[in-house]
Amino acid sequence: MANYLITGGAGFIGSNLAQVLVENGDTVVIVDDLSMGSLANINKLNPEQVTVYQKSITDHDFMRKLLVNNHFDYLVLLGAVASVADSVVRPIETHAINCEANLNVFDVIRKHQINIKKIFFASSAAVYGNGGPTTKQETSLIDPLSPYAIDKFTTERYLLNYGKLYGLNTVAARFFNVYGPKQNPNSPYSGVLSIINKALTEDSEFALFGDGEQTRDFVYVQDVIRAVLLLLHNSNTNNNVYNIATGKSISLNKVIEIFENVYGKHLKIVRHSARKGDVKDSGADISKIQKLGFQPEYSIQEGLSAYIAAQ
Ligand code: UD2
């Protein structure tokens, strides 16, 4: 049994991870300001295994006290402004949340010589931008096109650098486009599949930005959680960065078609020009994490069916 600190633990990926950990018999401490996450995502978890702090990770003093006064085996840093488009509107706030708040955590651990088995940071496919090959290896060109991408890359580098300079045990992963149950669909900045799902359920309009030919590697949340736990528990991952994806990309137009087939109805599409800072094509080479034994279990069809079935 291990004790995990999850920032953003009431959010989409964090709450799904918390559920898996609780089922495994672990204990979980969640820090979440509920800006995108919600208590409804975690209120069915065994309260004896879960502690929730409704706090912002930008409260440096709170985070310092939390880390100094408790023992955590693992840190999973998911708390973030989780949207490229949102970061374009709020670059300064994004920087405080996505970068400075995490750097504070790393520095508290360094200064107080806190012993943690491993610190995991969720970076993003956004760091690759439009440069380099379409299928991104971890060593591919970095071409951040938005404040979100800049902060994800900066924080990932800080973490790995703290690992090398100060001996912290670290690992970072570049999540591609994660989808599944508990993804909040209620903001224009939510993940596109949650927005499409909501529009299909409610028969409302979907705003399509660009021509729909942009491609993404959509990865189901349960696959992501297995990958995160593998990276945390494998001793060979220390101070490394890994892509987490399926290795298969698909256009937005194509994914809409699959969704329509699953629902048996048409999506009402309203077309808009492409969003600022948006990446055109995003594809993943996942051979690095595959060498550790990771294999995605959900194709896009299987993932969408599981997502819909879980509602
Ligand atoms: C980025 C990252 C992803 C993750 C995510 C933050 C890339 C390639 N991926 O995802 O890894 O970090 O940020 O959670 O950078 N769209 C619409 N209508 C909508 C919403 C979105 O057309 O209502 C489009 C959007 O313009 C984009 C695509 O759908 O082309 C996917 O958008 P998204 O916000 O779901 O995720 P994205 O690709 O910015």
In this prediction, the answer to ipTM > 0.95 reads: yes
Q: Which residues make Cβ contacts (< 8 Å) with residue 220, sequence separation at least 6?
A: 178, 179, 180, 296, 297, 298, 302, 303, 306, 307
pLDDT of 266-283, one tens digit each? 999 999 999 998 999 999
Closest residue by Cα to atom 19, ligand 1, is 192
CB atoms under 10 Å from CB of 289, counted, come to 25
Same domain assignment for residues 187 and 104: no
pLDDT of 101-147, one tens digit each? 999 999 999 999 999 999 999 999 999 999 999 999 999 999 999 99
Q: Which of 80, 239, 198, 60 lies closest to 146, judged by CA?
A: 80
Same domain assignment for residues 148 and 256: no
Position 16 in a domain: yes
Query: Whole-angstrom distance between the N-terminal and C-terminal Cα of the chain?
Result: 30
Tokens linked to 58: 């930008």
Element housing 160 (H / E) = helix 147-166
Same domain assignment for residues 127 and 227: yes
Same domain assignment for residues 62 and 108: yes
Same domain assignment for residues 77 and 190: no
Same domain assignment for residues 26 and 62: yes
Residue for token pair 């896009």: 300
User: Is pLDDT above 90 for 43?
Assistant: yes
- pLDDT band at 188, cuts 50/70/90? confident
Mean pLDDT of the chain: 97
Q: Average pLDDT for residues 80-101, to the nearest whole number? A: 97
Whether pTM > 0.80 for this model: the answer is yes
Same domain assignment for residues 77 and 136: yes
CB atoms under 10 Å from CB of 310, counted, come to 12
Q: Average pLDDT for residues 71-99, to the nearest whole number? A: 98
Position 291 in a domain: no
- The CATH number assigned to the domain holding 57 equals 3.40.50.720
Measured in Å, residue 111 CA sits from the centre of ligand 1 at 37
User: Is pLDDT above 90 for 311?
Assistant: no
Q: In the chain, pLDDT over 90 holds for what percent of residues?
A: 97
Q: Average pLDDT for residues 48-76, to the nearest whole number? A: 98
CA 191 to chain centre: 11
Measured in Å, residue 229 CA sits from the centre of ligand 1 at 24
Measured in Å, residue 84 CA sits from the centre of ligand 1 at 7
CB atoms under 10 Å from CB of 20, counted, come to 16
The number of folded domains in the chain is 2
Position 289 in a domain: no
Position 292 in a domain: no
Q: Are strands 250-251 and 215-216 parallel, antiparallel or unpaired?
A: antiparallel
pLDDT reported for residue 179: 98
pLDDT of 205-253, one tens digit each? 999 999 999 999 999 999 999 999 999 999 999 999 999 999 999 999 9
Same domain assignment for residues 193 and 81: no
Position 293 in a domain: no
Write the single-letter amino acid at 140.
Answer: S
Q: Are strands 74-77 and 3-7 parallel, antiparallel or unpaired?
A: parallel
Same domain assignment for residues 105 and 63: yes
Same domain assignment for residues 226 and 253: no
Domain span at residue 280 reads 180-216+248-284+298-309
pLDDT reported for residue 249: 98
Q: How far is the C-alpha of 31 from the C-alpha of 278, rounded, in Å?
A: 29
Backbone angles phi, psi at 291, to 5 degrees: -65, -20
Position 38 in a domain: yes
Position 153 in a domain: yes
Q: Average pLDDT for residues 3-31, to the nearest whole number? A: 98
CB atoms under 10 Å from CB of 272, counted, come to 10
- The CATH number assigned to the domain holding 258 equals 3.90.25.10
Same domain assignment for residues 42 and 85: yes
Same domain assignment for residues 174 and 184: no
- Ligand 1 pocket (Cβ < 6 Å) reads 82-84, 124-126, 175-177, 191-192, 195, 207-210, 214, 216, 252, 275, 278-279, 282
Position 290 in a domain: no
